[in-house]
Structure 1
Amino acid sequence: MRQNGLDIARFLAYCGMVLVNFRIAAQVTAGPDFASLLTNNLEGRAAALFVVLAGIGLTMGTSRKREILARAGVLFALGLLNLQVFEADILHFYALYFLLALPFVNAAPRHLLAAALGAVVIGLLGLFLLDYEAHWDWNNLSYAEFWTLEGFLRHAFFNGWHPVFPWVSFVFIGMWIGRQDLGQKAVQNRLVLWGGACALLASLPGQMIQVPDLAAVLGTASLPPGPFYILAASGSAALILGLVLRVTPTLDRLGLGEWLAAPGRIALSLYIAHILVGMGTLEALGQLDGSLTPQQILGYSLGFCALSMLVSWLWALIARRGPLESLMRLTTRVFR
């Protein structure tokens, strides 16, 4: 049940990222409609759930540090390749998160929370001491000087799409959650209650502050990623995870659990596919120019998620793992 629940949550996180990334790639202008509202609320939240689940994954099994290091190497290489076609890649950030998480693999839960807090504090100090807008062109969401040493380091650790500080805190929070007995209903209920409370309370400071720049830092938007964004996104991740774990036994009894979990097991392969195939199709159709409406891109995104589910079911008939998941496993076995 626990494994199915985590895979289902991973698939939901993937679907959220598809909705957000397709809208960004298609340059669709948000409006007051339901499609825009839905995608706006997923922005920065779906990816955070993805990273929290990665942190939980680090606590499962008997992975050794050199195996985690090998995974980080594969993810970094895949991320650099993916950056050639998608500037908002998250995989190379994953690699950096894993490197920072290595010393904490066997850490006590309280040390994991302290590490998460430390990452948030470092990120907050950066927002006050450094120029967050350096190299950004906000009109088209492009980042100049990325392939220079200074630009890469700034993007990776401070002002990129998913900068190490404070985003690595999601990994530490996931590792802390992974140390709990996620099969217990009491733990699941706490994730729902505390997660919901954190997500709600985190939205208050940004609404109360009248100074625009300070309100942005204390708000819950993912750009820039301030402390209350981390709290809100961690809370929503815990909320979704708790709900999914809570309903998974029912889904399993209805025969739906395995179907919903299958895409989550090959989420890495699907992530690359949604860029190469999903965005590639939009480009081939000439739809990356802002001409689509929010409703049209939402429909396309949901259709691609449904296609991803179908492909994952068919793939499961011939292989236990996705192609990139098999590459990851092969690499870690070499270093085992």
Structure 2
Amino acid sequence: MNRLNGVDIARYLAFVGMVLVNFRLAAEVSGGSDIGSLITDNLEGRAAALFVVLAGVGASLGKPAWHLTLRRALFLFVVGMLNMLIFEADILHFYALYFIVAMAFMRRSNNSLLLGVAGFILVGFVAQLMLDFDRGWNWAMLSYHDFWTIEGFLRHSLFNGWHPVFPWAAFLLWGMWLGRLKLSRWTVQIGMVLGGALVAVAAHQASAALIHDPEIGALMSTEPVPAGPLYMLASGATAVAILGAVLLITPVLLALPIFRRLCDAMIVAGRQTLTHYVAHILIGMGTLEALGRLDGSLQPMQIFWISITYCAFAALFSWLWSHKFKRGPLEAIMRLITEGKT
């Protein structure tokens, strides 16, 4: 149970990171030199990567049948496409595509998963070298003009969207491989922290050395767009280190009464991230828009504390909801539609 609880807490923390990034993006707030901006800058691309890695971990731990995975993917695709109507940086419809990829690897060996990770990163890198990554984008408005066409949808989903299948599906396969480790062992957890941190630092140092190369420097960044190989390596390694650290500290925190209730709230919130992801767009961003604050008028620290406060209320909602219901609202709807169970 500590192992599962640690994964849930890590998932909640990934959600917090995504809220910080998405609220700042929606509010058109530029980064500053304050601590809030520094934190959010470092979470950009990393929180979403951790979110996808944890989805892979969950897939390995749960071992769902392929037809159930397919039904869940279809549900997420529909919800994600509806979400795209109001928030163009949606990740749910990408999730659906990642899970379709995962279906082909569910019963494969560990080596096959690692080859899949390398393959998706390599294909993504080659595509970035050979194709026009800017096609379809209006970078000034952060909009994609032909998404709702077949060609534009395929290009955005597979190649140059916010989280394209090539290479982002590698994060899900990487998480599936991690989920097969003995995550409850403290030796494995310490290895994840140290190994992940060392690889992440090495990737950033390699990026600093190669980013000025006139031929491939633009793809050697550790920024998430475009998701070059060093970004994938740095973010995947960071996800490993964070997951290892959370797994390591969770049993300690749960044993301390002062932290127990806080952990309980994060655990149940981590199990309801589908609900919270959609809610942070509809309710969180919707409230800010209704108040007229999505116009760039907020200061960096203001949007940072708004984000943190929203996430705290989200955890409180989950904790209260869990006293009456086993699953979050959207999680229960997905279970009803995909499994016919309440």
Q: If the length of structure 2 is used for normalisation, what is the TM-score?
A: 0.96
Match runs of 1:125-140 below 5 Å: 125-140=126-141
1:260 aligns with 2:261: no
> What is the aligned partner in structure 2 of residue 39 from structure 1?
40
Number of aligned positions between the proteins: 335
Match runs of 1:140-219 below 5 Å: 140-209=141-210, 210-211=212-213, 214-219=216-221
> What is the aligned partner in structure 1 of residue 306 from structure 2?
300
Q: What letter matches 1:149 in structure 2?
A: I
1:307 and 1:324 map into 2 onto residues whose CA distance is: 17
Match runs of 1:15-34 below 5 Å: 15-34=16-35
2:203 and 2:174 map into 1 onto residues whose CA distance is: 16
Q: What letter matches 1:250 in structure 2?
A: V
Q: Which of 119-128 and 58-67 deviates more?
A: 58-67
Taking a change above 3 Å as real, the CA distance of residues 212 and 89 of structure 1, as seen in their structure-2 partners, is farther
Q: CA deviation at 1:142?
A: 0.9
> What is the aligned partner in structure 2 of residue 237 from structure 1?
239
Query: In structure 1, the residue corresponding to 2:62 is in which secondary structure?
Result: coil
Q: CA deviation at 1:98?
A: 0.5
Q: Which of 101-110 and 11-20 deviates more?
A: 101-110
1:285 and 1:215 map into 2 onto residues whose CA distance is: 42
Taking a change above 3 Å as real, the CA distance of residues 138 and 187 of structure 1, as seen in their structure-2 partners, is same
Taking a change above 3 Å as real, the CA distance of residues 23 and 200 of structure 1, as seen in their structure-2 partners, is same
Q: CA deviation at 1:213?
A: 6.6
> What is the aligned partner in structure 1 of residue 10 from structure 2?
9
> What is the aligned partner in structure 2 of residue 82 from structure 1?
83
Query: In structure 2, the residue corresponding to 1:307 is in which secondary structure?
Result: helix
1:318 to 319, 324, 330: 324
> What is the aligned partner in structure 1 of residue 291 from structure 2?
285
Q: CA deviation at 1:258?
A: 2.1
Query: In structure 2, the residue corresponding to 1:203 is in which secondary structure?
Result: helix
Q: What letter matches 1:274 in structure 2?
A: H
Q: What letter matches 1:203 in structure 2?
A: H
Q: CA deviation at 1:280?
A: 0.3
> What is the aligned partner in structure 1 of residue 250 from structure 2?
248
Q: If the length of structure 1 is used for normalisation, what is the TM-score?
A: 0.97
Taking a change above 3 Å as real, the CA distance of residues 295 and 213 of structure 1, as seen in their structure-2 partners, is farther
Q: CA deviation at 1:270?
A: 0.5
The answer as to whether partners of 1:203 and 1:220 remain within 8 angstroms in 2 is: yes
The answer as to whether partners of 1:55 and 1:170 remain within 8 angstroms in 2 is: yes
2:34 and 2:215 map into 1 onto residues whose CA distance is: 27
The answer as to whether partners of 2:182 and 2:188 remain within 8 angstroms in 1 is: yes
Query: In structure 2, the residue corresponding to 1:104 is in which secondary structure?
Result: coil
The answer as to whether partners of 2:14 and 2:51 remain within 8 angstroms in 1 is: yes
The answer as to whether partners of 1:68 and 1:332 remain within 8 angstroms in 2 is: no
> What is the aligned partner in structure 2 of residue 276 from structure 1?
282
Q: CA deviation at 1:194?
A: 1.0
Q: Which of 320-329 and 170-179 deviates more?
A: 320-329
Q: CA deviation at 1:32?
A: 2.3
Taking a change above 3 Å as real, the CA distance of residues 174 and 62 of structure 1, as seen in their structure-2 partners, is closer
1:56 and 1:276 map into 2 onto residues whose CA distance is: 28
The answer as to whether partners of 1:206 and 1:216 remain within 8 angstroms in 2 is: no
1:135-156 alpha-carbon deviations (Å, 9 max, x no partner) = 1111121111010111100000
1:238 and 1:57 map into 2 onto residues whose CA distance is: 14
Please report the RMSD computed on the Cα atoms of aligned residues, expressed in angstroms. 1.2
1:207 and 1:213 map into 2 onto residues whose CA distance is: 15
Q: What letter matches 2:79 in structure 1?
A: L
2:325 and 2:158 map into 1 onto residues whose CA distance is: 37
The answer as to whether partners of 2:75 and 2:338 remain within 8 angstroms in 1 is: no
> What is the aligned partner in structure 1 of residue 124 from structure 2?
123
1:334 and 1:110 map into 2 onto residues whose CA distance is: 35
Q: What letter matches 2:237 in structure 1?
A: G
The answer as to whether partners of 2:265 and 2:316 remain within 8 angstroms in 1 is: no
Query: Equivalent pairs: percent with the same residue?
Result: 51
2:74 and 2:278 map into 1 onto residues whose CA distance is: 17
1:159-216 alpha-carbon deviations (Å, 9 max, x no partner) = 0000000000000100000000110011111110111011111112221132367323
List gaps (5 residues or longer) in structure 1.
Answer: none
1:48-93 alpha-carbon deviations (Å, 9 max, x no partner) = 0000000011112341000000000000000011011100000000
The answer as to whether partners of 1:207 and 1:215 remain within 8 angstroms in 2 is: no
